[in-house]
Amino acid sequence: MNTNPNTSLNQFIKQSKPWYKKGSLLIISIGLLFLFIGILTSIKPAYRLSSNTINEWTRQIDGASFLYFMGMENRLFEEAFPESKDPLSVSNLMFQMATSLKPNDPRTLLGRELPGFDAYNGKIIVAGEGTDYTNLPIESAAPLDVVLEDREAKMPEEEVEQPPEQSNDTNGQPTTGDRNVVFLYTTHNRESFLPHLPEGTSKDEAYHSEVNISKVSNRLASSLKSQGIGSQVDHTDFMNVLNQKGWEYWQSYTASKPIVEEALATNKNIQYIFDIHRDSQGKEETTTTIDGKSYARFFFIVGSDNPDNETNLKLATDLHNKLNEMYPGISRGVKTQGGSGFNGVYNQDLSDQSVIVEIGGVENNMKELYRSADALAKVFSEYYWQAEKVQGNP
């Protein structure tokens, strides 16, 4: 029998080492966990992981890739994998997620390097007069500090025309009564117009807190009312919301989505939703002359990353066609937009009767913009009452 106390002590230490190791690993793991939680809760909201961030990542991945992964667990999904698709390359998938570049699509690289090349992420559905891929609408994307900068602005009286008066003939004109069936909002609410800003202001600086696209939205609401159609107008300053939350300009649609959701939840009468914008293209693209009067032109945009956008596209196409029937050349067309660098849904997943309406551009004045808002109200009223008649609604 070994009675050496040193030997017994050595054996005890050897037997205890695994426990010391496990205890140390546990303490270190807990420390790292608290450190990770601290980082997540202390970083700026714009850089936190959110459903929007995850959506941006996964939107870069081909849908067939998800079928491939699900097929690894359930072979039934393998039957749905498109025959035209090559087997998934994990290395290519990781490369796409890390860089947002697609090896088989040069637009994902050149679109960032060549000015205007990212327009090819969109698809022209209906081309109006003079419309091609060289003059599609340009979405404003200025740094938030530029958008929020204080500037002078002017609204000359001669630029303002009175909206049409509502007919007093209640028997001859249909009306929605006290129901507001159209919801109007402006995600890029500070988009302004150079004719109303100080001389020397560049297109990239054409933003103002008051003299902006929201005035066109208000005018459209007044014109719709004159046509007997009640509308609800949102006046949220989404640029201020972005600033308060520490978000970036590209997150504008994330900021505006809760407003649309709230409107739909509190007003069950809403049937149509229009997000009013202005283009960043010059006046030669965004203006037309009809019967001697100058009008701001329209462009309708539907999100291509919204999988259920068929009805949205039909609405946009119908309005484009009817506008050009009554006001030849006033609508530039309809396009879908999505892909890397774009929202691609534009809150249109909340309603199948929702579109982005670009009215005019950065060089149009309020007289032209208001005139076009009145035209849209007139055309939409005919569209609306015809749809009501077809559906058998009073």
CATH code of the domain containing 374: 3.40.630.40
Residues 144 and 259: their CA atoms lie apart, in Å, by: 20
Can you give the pLDDT at residue 390?
A: 77
- Using DSSP's 3-state secondary structure scheme, residue 69 falls into helix
AA letter at 304 = S
| pLDDT tops 60 at residue 178 | yes
Quick check: is 35 in a domain? no
Residues 89 and 102: their CA atoms lie apart, in Å, by: 12
Q: H helices of the chain, where?
A: 5-42, 51-58, 63-73, 90-99, 107-113, 144-147, 213-226, 238-245, 252-266, 283-286, 310-326, 366-391
| CA atoms in the 13 A half-sphere facing the CB of 130 | 15
Tracing tokens 């209906």 back to the chain, one arrives at 126
Quick check: is 275 in a domain? yes
Convert the pLDDT of each residue in 240-297 to its tens digit. Answer: 999 999 999 989 999 999 999 999 999 999 999 999 999 999 999 999 999 999 999 9
Convert the pLDDT of each residue in 8-54 to its tens digit. Answer: 655 655 555 555 566 677 788 788 877 777 766 665 444 444 454 45
How confident is the model over 120-124, as a mean pLDDT? 76
What is the total count of domains within the chain? Answer: 1
Q: Which residues are bridge partners to 289 per DSSP?
A: 294
- Using DSSP's 3-state secondary structure scheme, residue 243 falls into helix
What domain range includes position 355?
144-167+175-391
Can you give the pLDDT at residue 321?
A: 98
How confident is the model over 289-313, as a mean pLDDT? 96
Number of residues assigned to the chain: 394
Quick check: is 209 in a domain? yes
Quick check: is 354 in a domain? yes
Can you give the pLDDT at residue 384?
A: 97
Convert the pLDDT of each residue in 334-358 to its tens digit. Answer: 999 987 668 889 999 999 999 999 9
How confident is the model over 326-332, as a mean pLDDT? 98
Quick check: is 12 in a domain? no
Can you give the pLDDT at residue 6?
A: 58
What token pair was written down for 367? 């007289």
69 alpha carbon, distance to own chain's centre:
30
Convert the pLDDT of each residue in 185-225 to its tens digit. Answer: 999 999 999 999 999 999 999 999 999 999 999 999 999 99
Q: Is the dihedral of CA 282, 283, 284, 287 positive or negative?
A: positive
Residues 6+ away with beta carbon under 8 Å from 369? 193, 215, 216, 219, 278, 296, 359, 360
Report the mean per-residue pLDDT for the chain. 82
Can you give the pLDDT at residue 339?
A: 76
- Percentage, residues of the chain above pLDDT 90: 57
How many helices and strands (H and E) does the chain possess? 12, 9
Quick check: is 153 in a domain? yes
Cut 0.85: pTM above it: no
